[in-house]
Structures are given as C-alpha cells and as structure tokens.
Amino acid sequence: MNSTIGNIIRLSVVDSTNIYTSKKLSQFGMNEWTAVVADQQTLGKGQRGKQWHSQFGKNLLMSVYVKPRAIKHDHQFLISAASGLAIIKTLGEYGIEGKLKWPNDVLVGDAKICGLLIENQWEKNNLECSIIGIGLNMNQIEFNDYPWKATSMTKLKSQTFDLDEVLEKVIKNLKQLMAIAESKPAIVWTHYQLALYRLNQEIKFKTGDNVLEGILKGVNESGAIQIQTERELHSFVNGEVKLMRT
Ligand code: BTN
C-alpha cells in the first residue's frame, strides 16, 4: 500500500524512485529531505543506462531529495562521496565493513552491496537540487552476479534486517555527511580516500579499447580517479574509464 508519513513517501510498485521523485518535484515541489521508498521498481535505473534489479520487498530502494546549496559545480562529486560514506557508516553500525569502489559503488570484499545513482539539477553553475538514489541489498539472497559479484546484508550476517530501521539510519547518516560535505569538505575527502577500494593497490582498468594496469593513487576533488601506470599518472573522470574485475 502507498502512504506518506512525515517526509517519507512509501510506494509498493513504481517505475523508479528517482523518476518518481523527479516528476513529483517538477509537478508539486517537495520538502527537502523527502525520501521516496519502494518495495519494487519496474524500471529501476542503474549507472550508465543499466537497469537495477531487486526482488520485491527485499532491499532498500530509495531516493532522497536534497538541496546542498554550498556545493559548487566543480565539486559535485562530494555528493557521491558523502552518500557513499553514509552507506559505509550505516553498514558499520551492523558490523559490516564496506569499501567505496569509484565512482559510486559500495563493496564488501569484492562483492557489490549497494549502488548509488545521483542525479543533479543545475541552474547555470548553481546546484538546484540533487536526487540521491540508493539501492542497498539487504535481505535478498540470490543474485545475477554480473559483472561484479553481488552480496547483501543477510548473506553476510545470516539474519534478516528491518528495512525501516536501516532506512532511518541511512537518512540520519546522509544528513550528517551532507552537512559535513557543505561545511568541511576536506573531512569528506579524507574519509573517502580512506574508504577507497583498492587504494594504493594494483588495478586493471579499461579506457576506450585499451586494458591497462596501474596503481590506484586516489580520487581528486573533481572526482577524477588517479592511476599510476609504468609510464604516467592518469586522471580520468566518470565515464572515461571502467575498473575491471581482477
Ligand atoms: C548502480 O550501481 O548502477 C546504481 C544503482 C542505483 C539503484 C537505485 S534503487 C533506488 C533508486 N531508483 C532508481 O531507479 N535507481 C536508484
């Protein structure tokens, strides 16, 4: 059943919580920090035009509407960094250690537990608003593991988790991390690098048709990944390079 309590809009089935939020926003407006949550999406959006699949009622599928006014165009990756860190913090509260795979995935070990899809709306150089889409694997056990292996909280901890409790924690942590991103971005950067999957380790990556190997040195303040190969230090923005499974 669909319902709205406080700043949470609960839907049973929807095309995509990100699409719903964006439409609702343009038609009626919304209070900042409204979260749209669904049991199932028929057109769940993943990164790079892919679909996000999730079994009915098993996982956290949510979009949060925020207006991080202090974040400038060049530093928009801060929203991804803060969102990823909010998930890492939430998982940590359940004894699960997550890592951030650039640009927007949360992994445990080498398996993906959460995907983020952040859609920003700009008015010239000013950020109008941001829709933070979060797909956190909670109670699902079977996955189509491609291209990255998938995991869930229940697979890692052998228990069932309460979706509402986790939702509450995600919002609390997201509010905290977004406030830090706006007031003290350096703190978010430091924590982002510390949580980075494969930092200072050898990675394989694909750019165009080339597959190269190098050491992951970090991510700069524009969100570009820094990779040291034998020949040079490369800097790639999202879309220019893909990390490969090794
Ligand atoms: C990815 O890793 O490809 C990003 C996945 C993001 C999925 C979430 S589920 C809730 C929100 N609504 C969507 O349509 N997508 C995001």
- Atom 15, ligand 1: which residue's CA is nearest? 45
Looking at the fold, whether 65 and 168 belong to one and the same domain comes out as yes
27 and 123 housed in the same domain:
yes
Determine the distance from the C-alpha atom of residue 163 to the mean position of all C-alpha atoms in its chain, rounded to a whole number: 17
Of 124 and 71, the structure prediction assigns the larger pLDDT to: 71
Counting Cβ atoms within 10 Å, is residue 238 exposed (0-12), middle (13-18) or buried (19+)? middle
* Residue 116 sits in the same domain as residue 39: yes
Task: Please report the pLDDT score of residue 6 as a whole number.
Answer: 66
How much is the pTM? 0.95
The CATH number for 217's domain is 2.30.30.100
Domain of residue 64, residue span: 2-194
Regarding whether 118 and 159 lie in a shared domain, the answer is: yes
Identify whether residues 105 and 214 lie together within a single domain: no
Q: Atom 2, ligand 1: which residue's CA is nearest?
A: 115
CA distance 27 to 201: 47
Q: Same domain, yes or no, for 14 and 67? A: yes
Which pLDDT tens digit goes with each residue over 73-109? Answer: 889 999 999 999 999 999 999 999 999 999 989 999 9
Number of domains in the chain: 2
Asked if 93 and 166 count as a contact pair (C-beta separation under 8 A), the reply is no
Mean predicted confidence (pLDDT) in 186-197? 95
Please report the atom of ligand 1 found closest to the CA of residue 105.
2
Q: What pLDDT shows up at residue 234?
A: 93
- The CA 93 to ligand 1 mean position distance, Å, reads 22
The binding-site residues of ligand 1, defined as CB within 6 angstroms of any ligand atom, are: 16-18, 41, 44-47, 50, 52, 61-63, 105, 115-117, 133-135
